[in-house]
Amino acid sequence: MQSPPDPLLLAEAALLSERRRLTRDEVLAVADVGIEHLPALLDLAHRVRLAWCGEKVELESLVNVKSGACPEDCTFCGQSARHRTGVETYAMLDVEEIVAAARATEAQGVAQFCFVAAERLPSDRMFERLLECIGAVRRETDLDLGCSLGLVSEDQARALHEAGVRCFNHNLETSREFFPRLCTTHSWDDRVATAKIVKSAGLELCCGGIFGVGETLAQRIDLAFELAELEPVEVPLNFLTPRPGTPLEDQPLLGVEEALQTIAHFRLVLPDVWLRIAGGRELVLGDRQADGMLAGANGLIVGNYLTTLGRPAAEDIEMLEALQMPVAGPG
């Protein structure tokens, strides 16, 4: 077998022998080695994941507590009121529906459950109802809880922490440089500010991005380093599913090799996070879902996503058994 190119050997020595993080230049050199060295890159990313995080894999399921009619204009999103996508729109699910979804999640062997609302920021009324739902789910299940509610205030973040929510998701989505091409109704700095608010309230930060939206490889790597500065615990990686009615409806799908390369690059920059493959993985990775888990990832969003259907959670659990990757419990 051909020996890996120098940048990969250097990255291996840094991450596995010296146990240090890579510099941006070192990662750019890795990115430069070319897709023909993809197997060596994926192998390294997987070994880095095992060395820094261990064998376990985290599974998370989402419930879309409020769908559609979001006032923001994110070009990739089917839930923006500014795009005609025909997505189902509802104000807020009932507590019974949310508890039923939580119970079903727990019964499938999934430990994490995230309340997601399509909003710029939650209204007081919606937030009150959400706290009720969180209380009900905590009484009825042992699930580990997360929320993704937009640009929350400090008081709201503290209230979520006190209500027993462990983790808050707020993605940067893309690099600072590319962000104005994706959204004009709020700024990248607004997102960073929210990420800092939730951390200072005691919540763990889940913060990632979306790929295949027109960004360059260097901008992907910029995002990985920008995320690293925020020290997230979890990093979800979403891949664009071009949705009819959005400005990105004609965007070509990211190729599978580029998606795997992205997962691996993120692992090299963020060696110790839960790196979770999320929305769009079915479409982009196709029958190479297992390769995604062997490219440095150690987390999956299972079941359905916010506006697109996923494959059944049982198929993912079976796949992880075949890969001998044990599923982590709550906490």
Stretch that binds ligand SF4, among 29-37, 56-64, 76-84, 283-291 (CB under 6 A): 76-84
Residues 132-151: x where in contact with ligand SF4 by CB under 6 A, - otherwise, as a string: ------------------x-
* Using rule CB under 6 A, residue 70 touches ligand SF4: yes
Alpha carbon distance 229, 21 (integer Å): 12
* Binder of ligand SF4 out of 79, 112, 141, 194 (CB under 6 A): 79
Contact predicate 61/114, CB 8 Å: yes
* Using rule CB under 6 A, residue 77 touches ligand SF4: yes
Contact predicate 297/288, CB 8 Å: no
Stretch that binds ligand SF4, among 68-76, 84-92, 99-107, 321-329 (CB under 6 A): 68-76
Closer to ligand SF4 by Cβ: residue 65 or 313: 65
Give the C-alpha distances (Å, rounded to integers) separating 176 from 25, 194, 221, 226: 18, 15, 11, 8
Q: How far is the CB of 133 from ligand SF4 (least distance, A)?
A: 18
Nearest Cα residue to 130 out of 104, 164, 107: 164
* Binder of ligand SF4 out of 80, 174, 238, 241 (CB under 6 A): 80
* Binder of ligand SF4 out of 118, 143, 227, 237 (CB under 6 A): 118
Stretch that binds ligand SF4, among 35-43, 66-74, 106-114, 283-291 (CB under 6 A): 66-74
Contact predicate 230/204, CB 8 Å: no
Q: How far is the CB of 99 from ligand SF4 (least distance, A)?
A: 23
Phi-psi region of 19 (alpha: psi -120 to 50; beta: other; left: phi over 0): left
Angle between helices 124-140 and 95-107 (to 10 degrees): 40
Stretch that binds ligand SF4, among 25-33, 39-47, 67-75, 194-202 (CB under 6 A): 67-75
Alpha carbon distance 68, 116 (integer Å): 11
Closer to ligand SF4 by Cβ: residue 150 or 247: 150
Contact predicate 141/108, CB 8 Å: no
Stretch that binds ligand SF4, among 72-80, 133-141, 200-208, 232-240 (CB under 6 A): 72-80
